Amino acid sequence: MSKVAYIYPLEMPIDVKVTVPGSKSFTNRALIIASLAEGTTTLSGVSDANDSVILISLLKKLGVEIQSNGDIIIVKGNGGKFNPFSGELDAEDAGSVMRFLSALCCIIPGEILLKGSERMHQRPIQGLVDALKQMGAKITYIEKEGFPPIKIQSGNYTGGVIHIDASLSSQFVSALLMVAPMFPKDTEIICDGELVSLPYIDMTLSVMAHFGVEVKHETYKRYLIKSNQKYKAKDYKIEGDASSASYLLALAAISGSTVEVTNLSSESIQSDAKFADILENMGCKVNRGKSISVTGTPHLKAIEVDMNGMPDTAQTLSIVAAFAKGETLITGLSTLQHKETNRLKALRMELSKLHINSKADDNSICISGANPKGAYIDTYDDHRMAMAFAIVGARTEVSIYSPDVVKKSFPGYWNTLKSMGVNVEIE
């Protein structure tokens, strides 16, 4: 029998300071680039998310020397020169690991089978594979055309002009960008179709620049990466994860509490750091600086907002919207059906259990705010469903099935809620 987390309403508003784990997105980019760098890099504030744990394990399997000590990791880079490797790599349910390694494995001599979980094999990868083939990669699909698992054989990768369909995931572009300096020719990446989640490209470019590689781009549609640039090892501190922070700030919003996240700055380039701006538009009080704090209000207002640049907080916002007066329209959600679950479908199903009406299409959800009732919530093997719906418990008792799913991005989530004064029981 699977576990259940019971969350009970706050007896009164709380006023707390809290830290969140290091950014999973920054961690995984830094791990790839530090592995490709010349010299030894110390990464501090590293995420303890399962996605990052998986990536570290697979990089080690590929021969990268990595030492871990808590949230400090030392990576001995190989300058892009890998020893031959033939075998299987299992990315499990980690989307960024699947995409980043699809590109990285193209420069590794040997024959690699890259696979994942059952759900990962339902998540499209053709846009990235087509682009990698253009630069000389030899990739074949093992089961269904356009989806993992894939077999990657060492080929004559070159660089040159590469067209990519990035309409499903910005990680396709990030994966290409990070390995492009290894190519013998200058690389020009041209994005066809609408590029989603642009701020995540900014994160990639930021980490690349920190390690000494320059990328020129025109309005995020065309990127030029000069050949023979070298990543240089350089210590790197990873800031708090803004996606993880969103749940704690949302809890403040719906419960009239004050929550300050001390290791996330308002200057962060993480798109999800702007989640506090959305809460402010809904009537909350926000203080910004080297930390971000939100004070909730009993008079939350419905809004219309495009979440194309921050889809990972769409579920969190949906919960806040359930408590807001009026109809909240959230758009820019086309990628949600390709995540750990079809998140739009799952959102509607679980909101209805809370007696909250909603309607959705392929790109948006409209939520009618009311007075949510307690319910048993299914998580669909999706960490963000579990964490978002747990917030409801600050107002009315909820029960979350399979609470361990949070390990994917925020393993200490339930203990963090307890430390803030939220009554959580796991059975």
- What is the rounded distance in angstroms from the CA atom of residue 110 to the CA atom of residue 255? 55
Tokens of 8: 């009970």
Do residues 98 and 120 make contact, with C-beta atoms less than 8 angstroms apart? yes
The single residue of 165, 241, 272, 312 carrying the catalytic annotation is 312
Six token digits for residue 28: 């995984």
Q: Does residue 312 have an active-site annotation? A: yes
Q: What are phi and psi of 17, to 5 degrees?
A: -110, 140
- Please give the Cα distance from 39 to 57 (Å, whole number): 20
DSSP structure string for 266-285: TT---GGGGHHHHHHHTT-E
Distance in angstroms (rounded) separating the CA atoms of residues 397 and 350: 14
Burial grade of 68 (CB within 10 A; 0-12, 13-18, 19 or more): middle
Contact 256, 13 (CB under 8 A): yes
Q: Say if residue 333 is exposed, middle or buried (CB neighbours under 10 Å; 0-12, 13-18, 19+).
A: buried
Is residue 424 within 8 A of residue 417, CB to CB? The reply is: yes
Beta bridge partners of 424: 7
C-alpha angle 189-190-194 in degrees, rounded to nearest 5: 130
The pair phi, psi for residue 409, each rounded to 5°, is -135, -25
What are residue 31's phi and psi, to 5 degrees?
-65, -45
Positions annotated as catalytic residues are: 312
